[in-house]
Amino acid sequence: MNNPVYLDYNASTPLDPRVWQAMEAAYQLPQVNSGSITHALGRQAHDAVEEARATIASSIGAEARDLIFTSGATEAINIAIRGIAQQYADKGKHIICSSIEHRAVLAVYDALEADGFEFTKLPVDHLGLVNIDELKNAIRPDTILCAVMHVNNEIGVIQDIQSIAQICNEHDVRLFVDAAQSWGKVSIDASICMFDAMAISAHKNYGPQGIGALYLRRKPKRLRLQPILFGGGQERELRPGTLPNALIAGMAKAAEIIDVDADQKHTATLREAAVECLNNEIPDHSINADSNSVVPGTLNIQLPGIDAQDLLCSCADVAMAMGSACTSSVPKPSHVLGAIGLDWQAAASSLRISFGRMTTQDELTQAIGALAAKIPQAASIAEGE
């Protein structure tokens, strides 16, 4: 059987061949511990890790010492949010997030709520955008933290992080940004936006799975977080454990080859072609949260009268998703689509097409044609239920 057309880039991007080459070269070196600086091989590994750290930090407008390595965005999210909550608990226990945050953020908030913290979910408009005035109104004297996702994984909406950071700084509220879906897709400059912490993940940006990073702002108020894991003193004692040298080399190469303009131009061209193909092949569709404030490589479409899960399961030639890969096994409607105003039925009839650097126009055309061919069967199943 031929491999399906892969259009699930928001779940995980393919590994860029240049990244694999960098990792292969790293794997061919002696597999030593970068913490073993008492011998030459250990120092060589340590220097390579620090060079990689500087490369990755530079890609987000930061310095090497601002970055700690993690296993991915989820771990970075947990370290940052729990750590900030603990550090500022004496000031207050009120925290804010947008209503379309990733489950990794919402789950940490739920755990903190059990510890006595109170949180407010900011509503979004029909495009998925946070209202700045509503953020201002939600901030209280006891508010210590706000978490806002830079680019949403389901609908691709881009939040105005700079304006949000300005409001948080004016009110002495720490801001955490989940940038897993924005790193490499849109420009990020931590020195300008002035958020306090940010999570990024390599496998969302053509790098390897299993490695990510947490940016921590040092000025004007340095975060002094507590670890969630305990062991050695690696990564400023915030993330103990032996560092994965080859994965870090791969993440650094992914950072090095970022070309936001070229990738945006490519995905914008693909999006235009996909919309034209959808109009021809599946005229009875609509695009959720369709605006200029989205990354072009994410298309969330609604197919009225169709169960999207049944459709995708019946279409072996296509690899797409209904929404977040982290909740694909949970039979609940998307909280993101609900937040932008879709009812349960509309959310259940929606699917996400996400594509990127390695996607071709022929692949998109082929995939949409395959979906269109299965729609009559999916519609008859939905009518019979």
* Positions marked active-site: 326
- Copy the structure tokens of residue 365: 């055309």
Name the burial class of residue 140, with classes exposed (0-12), middle (13-18) and buried (19+) by CB atoms within 10 angstroms of its CB: middle
Torsion of CA 106, 110, 113, 118, to 10 degrees: 30
Give the DSSP H/E element, type plus range, for residue 216: strand 212-216
- Copy the structure tokens of residue 205: 């940006």
User: Tell me, what amino acid is at 110?
Assistant: D
Helix runs in the chain, H state only: 17-27, 40-58, 73-87, 103-114, 132-138, 161-170, 190-193, 245-256, 260-281, 308-314, 335-339, 344-348, 361-384
Residue whose pair of structure tokens reads 């978490």 in the numeric block: 147
Q: Which residues contact 107 (CB under 8 A, 6 or more apart)?
A: none
Question: How many separate helices (H) and strands (E) can be counted in the chain?
Answer: 13, 12
310/307 Cα distance (integer angstroms): 5
11/360 Cα distance (integer angstroms): 18
Q: Tell me: cis bond preceding 283? Omega within 30 of 0 counts.
A: no
232/229 Cα distance (integer angstroms): 10
Burial 102-136 (b: 16+ CB within 10 A, else e): bebbbbbbeebeeeebebbbbebeebbbbeeeebe
| Cβ atoms within 10 Å, residue 61 | 15
Maximum distance among all alpha carbons in the chain? 70
3-class SS of residue 204: helix
| Cβ atoms within 10 Å, residue 228 | 12
